[in-house]
Amino acid sequence: MNRINKKLQEDHKLLSIYFTAGYPDFEDTVKIIVDLEKSGVDFIEIGLPFSDPLADGPTIQESSTKALKNGMTTSKLFQQLKGIRDKVEIPLIIMGYFNPMLQYGVEKFCQECQEIGIDGLIIPDLPVDVYHEEYKELFEKYGLRNIFLITPQTSEERIKYIDSVSDGFIYMVSSASVTGSTSGFGEETKSYFKRISDLQLKNPQIVGFGIKDKETFNQATQYAKGAIIGSAFIKHLNEHGSSKIASFVENVKALT
């Protein structure tokens, strides 16, 4: 069974952490992954840096720019990740924009992912209908789960379509925003979480955008299976480097 699906069966709220590969330092990728697993994180999203990340706010864009300056590329990331499955068991998801994957060759990209032991992909600018028509078979051939986003503006009909094409979880964007731009969740957002929960979709939902600490994690997971932290973790890396990862995770995960 795919590690993502297996993890989703666990009976607790899940914490996913995003970081940009090659940031803060080029060689940090493997260390960050190992430390995140040790700290008790449930999923890791490895950001493949892109020059023009439309759906991201300034924090993640700056980390991408830095990572590219550090020399990160698709093939270098794959080189760094070779052998990662000897070190960690945690589900690994690559999050990146579609153009670098197109240039690498989508099939070759998927094949490399499988060889390394990547479990899924999040590609914000690959729309669900294009995926469905052109790439679904290919992704499935290499055992990759493709994770789609929904937002408060996504219609119920479209959510159901996305649910039907998905196998894994649905990435529920908390508000109409780019990453890293909200502060706490209001009543409107909470009622959106509940509305989606009440749809009884076959794929569980993991909330992203606007989660930065224990409080927002708990709010987000009241109606959802888990939550994703991205920008707040990047800020932590920016301030503390890759040495104090456990303390960041503990602060969020101190659930009991």
Partner 1 sequence: MSYQVNEKGYYGEFGGAYIPEMLYPNVEELRSRYLDIMKEESFQKEFKELLKEYVGRPTPLYYAKRFSEKYRTKVYLKREDLCHTGAHKVNNTIGQILMAQKLGKKRIIAETGAGQHGVATATVCALMGMECIVYMGEIDIERQAPNVARMKMLGARVVPAKSGSKTLKDATNEAIRDWINNPVDTHYIIGSVVGPHPYPDMVARFQAVISEEIKNQLTEKEGKEDPDFIVACVGGGSNAAGAYYHYLDNPEVGIIAVEAAGKGIDSGESAATSALGKAGIIHGSKTLLMQTGDGQITEPYSISAGLDYPGVGPMHANLFTSGRGEFISVTDEDAMKAGLELAKLEGIIPAIETSHALAIFETRKFKEDDIVVVNLSGRGDKDLNTYIEYFNL
**34 part of the interface to partner 1, by CB under 8 A:** no
Q: Which residues are catalytic?
A: 45, 56
The single residue among 26, 37, 125, 161 that binds partner 1, judged by CB under 8 A, is 125
Nearer to partner 1, 130 or 255 (CB): 130
Instruction: Work out which of 104, 135, 185, 192 binds partner 1, going by CB under 8 A.
Output: 104
Candidate residues 30, 88, 138, 149; the one interacting with partner 1 per rule CB under 8 A: 149
Q: Which residues sit opposite 169 in a β-bridge?
A: none
- Helices 74-81/106-116 angle, 10° precision: 20
Is the distance from CB of 34 to CB of 83 less than 8 angstroms?
Answer: no
Dihedral sign of CA atoms 104, 122, 51, 135 in order: positive
Say whether the peptide bond before residue 127 is cis (omega within 30 degrees of 0): no
Question: Residue 224 CB: number of other CB atoms within 10 A?
Answer: 23
Q: Please select the residue that binds partner 1; options are 10, 141, 153, 240, rule is CB under 8 A.
A: 153
Distances in whole angstroms, Cα of residue 221 to Cα of each of 13, 59, 114, 166, 241 = 7, 24, 30, 20, 28
- 224 is a contact residue toward partner 1 (CB under 8 A): no
How many residues at the interface with partner 1, by CB under 8 A? 42
By the rule CB under 8 A, 121 interacts with partner 1: no
Which residue from 95, 113, 94, 89 is spatially nearest to 41, judged by alpha carbons? Answer: 89
The residue range among 2-10, 28-36, 91-99, 232-240 that interacts with partner 1, by the rule CB under 8 A, is 91-99
Note whether 148 binds partner 1 by CB under 8 A.
yes
Residues at the site binding partner 1, with contacts judged by CB under 8 A? 50-55, 57-58, 61-62, 65, 68, 73-75, 97-104, 124-128, 130, 148-151, 153-155, 158, 173, 176-178, 181
